Structure 1
Amino acid sequence: MIGAGDPSLIKTLAAVADAMSPALRPWWVIGSAAVALHGADAGKVGDVDILVDPSDVDALFRRLGVAALDLPPHPLFRSERFARWAVHPLPVEMMAGFAVATDGGWQRLEPATRHGIAVDGRNIHVPAREELVAILRRIGRPKDVARAAALEGREPG
């Protein structure tokens, strides 16, 4: 069960599914919430991260009444458009045109797999477990590596 039945996570994910229902292109929950949705120990889920297609982002931001934020550069990842939706128990971070730094430069991250997981009668889309492991390892922060290990059912390292 996700987040051991964490009502804050369930309520936020239900709101995400409702907000994303008009999307014309695929979207995914990634990060700790996706790890929890796969039934692994994600540690503390402090927010919900969503990858949104750039063609859906303007309509989404308008519907939710959020504005794109200009974030300081991060050495590991960046988004063409980013906003935070903070009207539910957990903040929701929406990223369009998300890219990860690699040895060869910035590489756009768009999952190839998309699995639906039912939450409160709604469908939440996440990458397949194996692909989520690869995404988390690619991002590479210690908390992401630990979550990848939890998905693989082993200790980090």
Structure 2
Amino acid sequence: MKRRQLLSLSVVGVAMSTAGCITARRTAPLMFDPQPPDRPDECPFSHNFDVAFPVPLEDESVETLTAAYERELRASDGVDPDTLSIEVTLTSWGQSYIADLRVTVDDVDTGETYSAAYYVDERQLMRSTADGTELPVDPREGHSLECRQRID
């Protein structure tokens, strides 16, 4: 059996075993979608840092991923993680995953909301800078890109 087929089978198994909500410091529903999410039209800003991608994909791994994301967000943007609501969607794409995170900052004054799309290889969840006028790099070309876009 080819590696891609094995990956597909393992993703199905993990999806069946992790359906529903994961209760951690944040509630992070872990879902699997056979189709990649639509890529955003632009990346107004981004940051340069990496977050280790969880292997294997299970409740505790997603909790670790969420906690790491919160730490990085707080360090880079000064956002209090206690005001965050994070949803995680993992999508299989060949030998890669896409982790699509929707992040809501519950700020009563600004009501800031961001969406974050992570194009993920098997080992690292990487963020890289992107020009606001360019489309994100297609992960099938072997690149990894994070685009976090503010939604007004």
TM-score, length of structure 1 as denominator length: 0.26
Bigger relative CO (Cα 8 Å, ≥ 6 apart): 2
Whichever structure has more strand as a proportion of its residues is: 2
**Per residue, is there more helix in 1 or in 2?**
1
